[in-house]
Structure 1
Amino acid sequence: MSAVLGSVLAVIRVLVVDDDPMVRLLLRSILRPDDIEVVAEAADGDEVVTAVQAHHPDVVLMDLRMPRMDGIRATAAVRALPSAPGVIAMTSFDTESAILDAVHAGASGFLAKDSGPDEIVTAVRSVASGDGALSPRAARTVMAQLSEDSGGQQRREARQQLLLLTDREAEVAGFVAEGLSNGEIAQRTFLSEATVKTHLSRATAKLGVTNRVQLALVVDRAATSGR
């Protein structure tokens, strides 16, 4: 995040991606708090990587349905970049397949386009801080996927993955799966937030996932699949 000179306020830099100029204008009008700045816009998925490299946003608000490159492929491309920003997927069609595709592509958040202004602002702040931001429907869809585990194969694979973690990394991962923020995990473990972020970064790297939502999926599969 970019610090504001002469102030303790940190500004969250946002890239808005949508093929509809009216939607981009609406999101700009919503993202007006002092701690949020829309630094750039993109009209299609194939413009996103260039825009991220040019403007270095902290968060990308990503439409999923665009004519040349859809938001799923664009999200995966963004998350593959070094120091990738968090991505919040937004769509008018919050189907189960769209939600799961977005999460698997690396999105840290998922919102319907009819979400209220406060919900959108809260999601941007949450993802910028390293937390997730799933709408209630998206959260239910992700949890429902955990119950679909033929023969317990996903549970066994997830448990094998978690063996790669140190005790502290596994502890932090468990708290992430409970929905705790980095600050709350720091309080529970008596660690600094910076140390929590370090353990979280190492855990995601070892498990081959890109964000805390995917990390939580692995932990939940290990604990709940096959019940």
Structure 2
Amino acid sequence: MIRVLIVDDDSFIRESLKVLLGLDTGIEVAGTAGDGQEALTLLDTLPDGADVVLMDIRMPGCDGVDGTRLIKQAHPQTAVLMLTTFDDDEYIIEALRAGASGYLLKNIPPDRIIQGIKTVHEGNMLIHPEIARKLAGFLKPSVREEAPQAEPFASYGLTPSEQAVVSAIAEGLTNREIAARLFLSEGTVKNYITDILSKLGVRDRTQIAILYLKSKQRS
């Protein structure tokens, strides 16, 4: 059972998401909150905590970015999945840097929200393809400095299979989806990603996607 905390300043959205998630027998709504600080306070008092926080990005008081940072500092084992719209581009990198495990758009089908919760609960990064394509265009300087810049993407020594995995990661695919597309096992995909992280000198899937998208812009 995945315990989920819903955070949104709109009470109608909170209740709608609560009803939606309640339809899945593998998900339990642990509670709801109106902003990031309220979510942290609730997490601190819940006996069993929460596995995933479904977090709105724009909220009065403590917004989604600050809320994510507070939650990840106090409850690092809890995954945070952001909900946003296309005009929230300026928050994306900051939320990911704060520790968010993924970004979804509010206009996606309801079943994609449920699948997204399960994806980040499994430890995977999830970035909506539309957002993944935007990442390279508005990277902040501090983020640019974190990714290798000394040589073109093609010169990192990735095998063709590893390059296919990188491309799929940049599209926002999960390990399971990558495995299905490339006719591999999930274990093999995980091994590829470990090697890719080492070769590129980056820390996580998000930086793999960012580096790939920046290389595409230069080519």
> Normalising by the residue count of structure 1, what TM-score does the alignment of the two structures yield?
0.66
- 1:36-63: CA deviation from partner (whole Å, max 9, x where unpaired): 1111211211122233343432211101
**Shift in CA distance, 218/139, structure 1 to aligned 2, threshold 3 Å:** closer
2:100 counterpart of 1:110: no
Q: Distance in 2 between matches of 1:88 and 1:186?
A: 23
Corresponding position of 1:213:
206
Q: Does 1:76 align with 2:72?
A: no
What residue is the counterpart of 1:164 in the other structure? none
2:46 equivalent to 1:56: no
Written as runs of structure 1 = structure 2, the 5 A alignment for 1:1-227 is 11-31=1-21, 32-53=23-44, 54=46, 55-92=48-85, 94-145=87-138, 154=144, 157-158=147-148, 174=166, 176-177=169-170, 179=172, 181-183=174-176, 193=187, 196=190, 207=202, 212-218=205-211, 220-221=213-214, 223-224=215-216, 226-227=218-219
Mapped partners of 1:79, 1:178: distance in 2: 25
Amino acid at match of 1:47: E
Offset of residue 181 of structure 1: 3.3
- Any gaps of 5 or more consecutive residues in structure 1? 1-10, 161-166
Q: Is the 8 A contact 1:16 1:62 kept in 2?
A: yes
The amino acid of 1:181's aligned partner reads T
Q: Which runs of 4+ in 1 moved over 6 A?
A: 184-188
For 1:69 and 1:195, locate their aligned partners in 2 and report how far apart those are by CA, in whole Å. Answer: 37
User: How many percent identity over aligned positions?
Assistant: 33
Aligned mates of 1:115, 1:195 — CA distance in 2: 26
Deviation sequence 1:171-208 (CA, Å, 0-9, x none): 699474575534577898x88849949x85xx69x846
Give the residue type in structure 1 aligned to 2:209. Answer: A
Amino acid in the other structure paired with 1:13? R
1:4 aligned residue: none
How far 1:141 moved relative to its partner?
1.1
Alignment partners' CA distance in 1, 2:119 and 2:146: 31
Aligned residues: 205
Gaps of 5+ in 2: 151-157
SS in 2 for 1:80: helix
The one-letter code of the counterpart of 1:20 is D
The match for 2:154 is none
TM-score norm. by structure 2 comes to 0.68
Shift of 1:27: 0.2
